[in-house]
Structure formats: C-alpha cells, structure tokens
Amino acid sequence: MSTYPTLLAIESSCDDTSAAVIVNGEVKSNVTANQEAHRIYGGVVPELASRAHQQHIVPVVDTALKKAGVDRKDLDGIAFTRGPGLIGSLLVGVSFAKGMALTLDVPMVAVNHMQAHVLAHFIDPPRPTFPFLCLTVSGGHTQIVLVKDYMDMEVVGETIDDAAGEAFDKTAKMLQLPYPGGPIIDKLAKLGNPKAFKFPEPKAHRPLDFSFSGLKTSVLYQLRKKKLEDPNFVTDNINDICASVQATIVRILIKKLTKAAEMYNINQVSIAGGVSANSELRQKVNEAGAKHNWQVYIPQFQYCTDNAGMIAMAAHHQFLAGDFVDQKVTPLARWSVSG
C-alpha cells in the first residue's frame, strides 16, 4: 500500500450515480450518470432511483477507472457515501463497495455526503484554510457550516423546513417545469425582472436558521389568484416569476451567510451543494465578498451537484486518518456533518 492512497469513490445517495478515482489527493476522474426518469414526476422517485443506480454503477465505475488510468488491483481502498440520503439508493453504492473491497481485500471508507460537499473545496486550488464558513445548499439540506478541520465541522445554522433546492424544485413543479427545477429557474430567471413580484422572506427563530416553506406557499397563492384573472398568466410571466423567486431565495441565503461571517468573525466564506451552481448565488456571494472583504470559494460546476470527486476527497483524508469501516456497515438516511 502506498503512503498516499489510490482510492475509488462511489456516490449514490440520491439520483446521480457517480464514481471517482483519487491518487495522492488528486482527483483523476469523476464520472456521473444522471437519471432522466424523474423529470416528469417533479421529484426523485426512490424506487426508480435505486433501479437506475443498479444499471449505472458498473459502467460508471469502469469508466472512472479507465479515465484515471488505474487498474482495480492498484486500488488501496474503496470509499462510498454512507448517508445521508435515500436508503434504496445508498444500498446500491454500499453493497457494490462491499463486494469490491472484499474481492480486492482492501479497506473501506464510509463518507458523509454533506461533509463531502464541503470538502469539494479541496479538490482544486484556491483552497480555503481553516476555519472557514460553508453555506451548503442542496436538494435535501441548507446549512451554514463552521469548518474547523477536514473532519471537524459544526452546523451553526440550518433550515427549519424546506431546503433551498427544494424551494427551487417545488416552485418549478408549480410552474409545470420539469425536475430538477433549479437549473431551469436559473436559466429562465436570466430573461426576467427580479423585482416583478414580491415574495416574503419567511423568518426562522434562531438568527442563522432558514425557512423556505412560507415562500413556496406565497408563490402558490399568488399564482392561484392571478390565474383566476388570466389563465395564461404563468406562461406569459414565467421569466419574471422565476427571476423574482430566485432573487428571494438568494437574498435569504446571502443575508444569513453575512450574519454568520459577522457572528463568527470569519472572512473565508464558501458555498457548496447543488444550489451553489446557481449563477445568481455565485454572483451575489462574490459581490458580498467584495463588500465585506471575504475570500470567497466557489467549487467548479462539476463539484457542486452530486459527484464522487467530493466523496473521494473526503475519503482521502479519512484514509490517512485510518478511519475505516468493516463489512457490517449499513447506510444512514440521516447523518449530521457534526458527526
């Protein structure tokens, strides 16, 4: 076994099947198969997701190894996402990893998906130094994380109801746009007026917590009312609706992130997770950074949404720390980044 390991990492927590190879802490390949089956349902259908993982996992792993130029026998370990996520989806990755680790007689590393989103910042330079703040915004989570070390993280604020990605996806569903709604709203918002509609910024009790469910309800009621007056209202105003919804979500996120930076007196600020691919969020965090003198870290697009590159990065540090699991390991639907 080399001092710096060669690892295969597998991600299957939701609807993307991904595999990556990391050598000496450098991600050599990151291959992801997206699932189209969920588009028409307005959200991920767990049963369809696990079946699609089963179909995708072998070709995705083979391609990741091939792209990295690494042979199975050169692997020092197998890493996989243990949670949080959909159990049926996670089971595919966990079982595959167990089989491969057993065959190759190498150790296994179990990675926390939300820690991995944060550690995506260490894949490419510029890399943050500890401590830094990370706004992790995905389909299932919205958290402000105080990152003290690779595996030492504290959630200092989080959503009390819907995640930011969910707010995008559920609004898109109301607008009869396909799943996932975030990228589509992002695209249409570029053509619309963000001030055309006013949506509330729901308040949470604790200063760094978020709430998005009131926003969704407000969009629903406003649209219902307007549609009674004009049945073509949504179609005729889709760009303005998307721009206004997106502006509200991004405003809420930036306000809380700014508050966190003040409260913790930290000037290294990052965003991660699927919603960090949003063009307005990327722009606004950069603007806030310029205003408040932050160093801002934003991952490359391929490491924002679910990917195994970030799992590989987390696994690298866990491997060096000797953090292994045995064949009895089971997936976890819930698992805090705080451990």
| Residues making contact with Zn ion (CB under 5 A) | 138, 306
31 binds, among Zn ion, ligand KG4, none (CB under 5 to 8 A by kind): none
CB of residue 122 vs Zn ion: minimum separation in angstroms? Answer: 16
CB of residue 87 vs ligand KG4: minimum separation in angstroms? Answer: 15
Place of tokens 């303005």: 240
- Going by the DSSP 8-state scheme, the letter that residue 90 receives in this structure is H
Tokens read off for 16: 């993307």
277 binds, among ligand KG4, Zn ion, none (CB under 5 to 8 A by kind): ligand KG4
CA end-to-end distance (rounded Å), the chain:
28
93 binds, among ligand KG4, Zn ion, none (CB under 5 to 8 A by kind): none
Question: Which one, 14 or 133, has the nearer CB to ligand KG4?
Answer: 14
Question: Which one, 147 or 163, has the nearer CB to ligand KG4?
Answer: 163
CB of residue 242 vs ligand KG4: minimum separation in angstroms? Answer: 10
DSSP 287-330: HHHHHHT-EEE---GGGTSS-HHHHHHHHHHHHHTT--B-TT--
Question: Which one, 102 or 220, has the nearer CB to ligand KG4?
Answer: 220
CB of residue 304 vs ligand KG4: minimum separation in angstroms? Answer: 7
Place of tokens 């996989």: 80
CB of residue 170 vs ligand KG4: minimum separation in angstroms? Answer: 9
CB of residue 271 vs ligand KG4: minimum separation in angstroms? Answer: 11
Question: Which one, 100 or 116, has the nearer CB to ligand KG4?
Answer: 116
270 binds, among ligand KG4, Zn ion, none (CB under 5 to 8 A by kind): none
- What gap in Å lies between CA 84 and CA 24, rounded to an integer? 27
157 binds, among Zn ion, ligand KG4, none (CB under 5 to 8 A by kind): none
Which residue intervals of the chain are DSSP H helices? 46-68, 87-104, 113-119, 164-174, 181-189, 213-229, 233-264, 279-292, 308-320
Per-residue b/e over 128-148, b at no fewer than 16 CB within 10 Å? Answer: beeebbbbbbbbbbbbbbbbe
242 binds, among ligand KG4, Zn ion, none (CB under 5 to 8 A by kind): none
Question: Which one, 17 or 138, has the nearer CB to Zn ion?
Answer: 138
Q: 47: buried, middle or exposed (CB in 10 Å: 19+, 13-18, 0-12)?
A: exposed
Question: Which one, 5 or 140, has the nearer CB to ligand KG4?
Answer: 140
Interface contacts to ligand KG4, rule CB under 6 A: 14, 138-140, 165, 168-169, 180-183, 186, 273-275, 277-278, 305-306
Task: Determine the residue with CB nearest Zn ion.
Answer: 138
CB of residue 335 vs Zn ion: minimum separation in angstroms? Answer: 13
Dihedral over alpha carbons 147, 148, 153, 156 (to 10 degrees): -60
CB of residue 266 vs ligand KG4: minimum separation in angstroms? Answer: 23
Tokens read off for 339: 């451990």
- What gap in Å lies between CA 127 and CA 147, rounded to an integer? 13
Q: 266: buried, middle or exposed (CB in 10 Å: 19+, 13-18, 0-12)?
A: middle
- What gap in Å lies between CA 70 and CA 152, rounded to an integer? 31
268 binds, among Zn ion, ligand KG4, none (CB under 5 to 8 A by kind): none
188 binds, among Zn ion, ligand KG4, none (CB under 5 to 8 A by kind): none
Question: Which one, 107 or 274, has the nearer CB to ligand KG4?
Answer: 274
Question: Which one, 89 or 244, has the nearer CB to Zn ion?
Answer: 89
